[in-house]
Structure 1
């Protein structure tokens, strides 16, 4: 997947309505970056294209969520694994003071919690 394909997909999402999405550093109306959106969607292909194009895997978006927080919140196991394999920092806190592992515990995401605790 090319970065242009990701931008084309995202231009129709509510968070990018009216925004010229032309950079991995473009903030959405909700305060997220494209990498946060990809992690929320659980798309490893989209995250990979964004990462190759310079996206920071530890960028905090809305509520201070890093892409890892976003993937955990949505139960996206493959996205969690990919983020960890590519250097996402699992110790970062969101605005509520929670690590991704804390969030997994709160949401009863036991598989994701075990993945986070085994790395």
Structure 2
């Protein structure tokens, strides 16, 4: 998948309404970047295309969530693994002071919590 395909796919999402989505560092109306959206969607293909085009795997979006926080919140195990394998910082905290592992514990995402604690 090419980055242009990802951006074209995202341009019609409500968070990009009225915004020209012309790059991986374009913030949405909600304060997220395309990489945060891809992590929320759990799409490793989309994350990979965005990352290869220069997206920051530690980009802080809405509520201070990094892509790793987004993937954890949605229970996207494959996305969590991919983010960790590609250098996402699991020690970053959101605006509530929670690390991705803290969030996994709160949401009872036991498998994800164990993956985060093991890496």
What TM-score do you get using the length of structure 1 for normalisation?
Answer: 0.99
1:44 counterpart = 2:51:
no
Tell me how far apart the structure 1 counterparts of residues 19 and 48 of structure 2 sit (CA, whole Å).
22
5+ residue gaps in structure 2?
A: none
Which stretches of structure 1, 4 residues or more, deviate above 3 A after TM superposition?
none
Aligned to 1:18: 18
Tell me how far 1:74 sits from its aligned partner: 0.2
Aligned to 1:70: 70
Aligned to 1:60: 60
5+ residue gaps in structure 1?
A: none
Aligned length: 119
Q: C-alpha offsets along residues 18-46 of structure 1, whole Å, 9 cap, x if unaligned?
A: 11101110000000000000000000000
1:27 counterpart = 2:24:
no
What TM-score do you get using the length of structure 2 for normalisation?
Answer: 0.99
